[in-house]
């Protein structure tokens, strides 16, 4: 872990990706709690799409090799 002044940079790529993955759910959660919005099917579909995209991007080469085996 690098430290620059009071800021620490985490050398864990999975942690950074997890934070990015959770931006949309936390945004919706805060809008539901603060503004009383309702969760729609479109929002849930968006979460699912983002999650699948992150999993596919992480799997990358291993997923490509498995798909070639078929």
What are the sequence ranges of the domains in the chain?
2-69
What are the pLDDT digits (tens) for 11-41?
677 777 777 778 878 888 898 899 999 989 9
Three-state SS for 15-47 is HHHHHHHCHHHHHHHHHHHHHCCCCCHHHHHHH
11 or 44, greater pLDDT: 44
Decide if 14 contacts 21 (C-beta within 8 A): no
Is the overall model pTM greater than 0.95, yes or no? no
């Amino acid at each position: 872990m690098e430290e620059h002044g009071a800021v620490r940079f985490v050398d864990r790529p999975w942690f950074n990706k997890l934070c990015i993955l959770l931006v949309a759910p936390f945004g919706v959660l805060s809008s539901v709690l603060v503004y009383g919005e309702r969760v729609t099917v479109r929002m849930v579909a968006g979460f699912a799409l983002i999650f699948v995209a992150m999993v596919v991007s992480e799997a990358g080469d291993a997923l490509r090799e498995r798909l070639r085996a078929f």
